[in-house]
């Protein structure tokens, strides 16, 4: 796999987002299935694993920590603070004391002495970014974290954060069907030497063809977070199926699995982009990893962009309430 820079580390070009092993997309897999997937990822060359206090309200950090503890020295372990479960409710809290306590809890759950990259998961709009990053800088000085990251924040906030302490990574959704990062923050990361970690790089499963019909949409689990995302509302989803069909036809004509082609597109956008697709299936994991070996020409990339232009994506990526919580350009 190609190697890319993430803070002080060199990581393989495709990491693993661990969220859906515990959180967000309906009923998570059983513990044995999740363990097998994590170990298969490691054995297949993945050395970047991404979790957060929010995922399963601590359960995902516990899972990742237990399973990967024997391989700790061989992986780059990342987690997030600033958004977690409190008494069963998701809470955004960027206060210094909360960040430091969340880190202590994460270290215990992850069964490690230091977290390689620790993100501020969301901007707490009641707390200056300088204060939140200042707390993270204290954790660096105390040896509890090695690098600081931000998640779902704007170029302007990134610049303010960098004035307090070097920022190693910005994590934001980015894919063929979610390209708001191209407004400003992607270029700001390149300018400032900040890695761009792309979550949901296959469009929350859409680009992989996992939900390819109105019938499949109707069968999403009741607690699947996609039910609350406008692009998956029936009135928009039906329009988006035209894009999916055109994209799948292109992938099939080139002999690529659609998910692999979507990830290859991301890797070709810039050397500072590191996608972290998540999955609960080993077959999908191995399919995703083939993207690191795909070579796309400028003509290929232009054809892919033409598909997007011909079939504009309908619907916002978040509903209004969630959109108000994030700081990204829109």
Structure tokens at 21: 């092993």
Q: Catalytic residue among 25, 55, 118, 174, which?
A: 55
Contact 120, 80 (CB under 8 A): yes
What gap in Å lies between CA 195 and CA 119, rounded to an integer? 12
What gap in Å lies between CA 121 and CA 152, rounded to an integer? 7
Contacts with 88 (C-beta within 8 Å, 6 or more apart), sequence order: 57
Q: Which stretches within 126-206 are classed as H helix?
A: 129-141, 155-162, 185-192
Dihedrals phi, psi of 200, to nearest 5 degrees: 50, 50
Contact 95, 124 (CB under 8 A): yes
Nearest-10 Cα torsion for 176, 178, 183, 188? -80
The answer to whether 236 is a known catalytic residue is: no
Query: Which sequence positions are flagged as catalytic?
Result: 55
């Amino acid at each position: 796999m190609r190697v890319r820079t993430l803070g002080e580390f060199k990581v393989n070009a495709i990491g693993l987002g661990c969220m859906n092993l515990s959180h967000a997309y309906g009923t998570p897999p059983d513990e044995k299935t999740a363990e097998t997937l994590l170990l298969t990822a490691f054995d297949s060359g993945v050395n970047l694993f991404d979790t957060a206090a929010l995922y399963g309200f601590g359960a995902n950090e516990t899972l990742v920590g237990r399973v990967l503890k024997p391989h700790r020295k061989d992986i780059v372990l990342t987690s997030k603070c600033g958004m977690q479960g409190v008494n069963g409710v998701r809470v955004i809290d960027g206060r210094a004391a909360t960040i430091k306590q969340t880190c202590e809890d994460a270290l215990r759950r992850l069964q490690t002495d230091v977290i390689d990259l620790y993100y501020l998961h969301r901007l707490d709009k009641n707390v200056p970014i300088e204060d939140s990053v200042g707390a993270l800088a204290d954790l660096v000085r105390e040896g509890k974290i090695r690098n600081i990251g931000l998640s779902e924040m704007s170029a302007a906030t990134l610049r303010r954060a960098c004035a307090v302490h070097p920022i190693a990574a910005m994590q934001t959704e980015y894919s063929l069907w979610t390209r708001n990062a191209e407004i400003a923050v992607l270029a700001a990361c390149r300018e400032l030497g900040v890695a761009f970690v792309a979550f949901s790089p296959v469009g929350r499963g859409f680009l992989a063809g996992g939900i390819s019909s109105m019938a499949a949409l109707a069968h999403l689990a009741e607690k699947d977070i996609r039910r609350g995302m406008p692009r998956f509302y029936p009135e928009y989803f039906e329009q988006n199926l035209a894009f999916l069909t055109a994209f799948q036809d292109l992938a099939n004509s080139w002999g690529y699995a659609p998910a692999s082609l979507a990830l290859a597109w991301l890797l070709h956008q810039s050397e500072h982009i590191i996608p972290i697709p998540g999955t609960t299936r080993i077959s999908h994991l191995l399919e995703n990893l083939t993207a690191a070996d795909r070579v796309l020409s400028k003509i290929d990339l232009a054809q892919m962009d033409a598909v997007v232009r011909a079939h504009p994506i309908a619907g916002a990526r978040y509903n209004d309430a969630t959109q108000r919580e994030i700081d990204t350009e829109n």
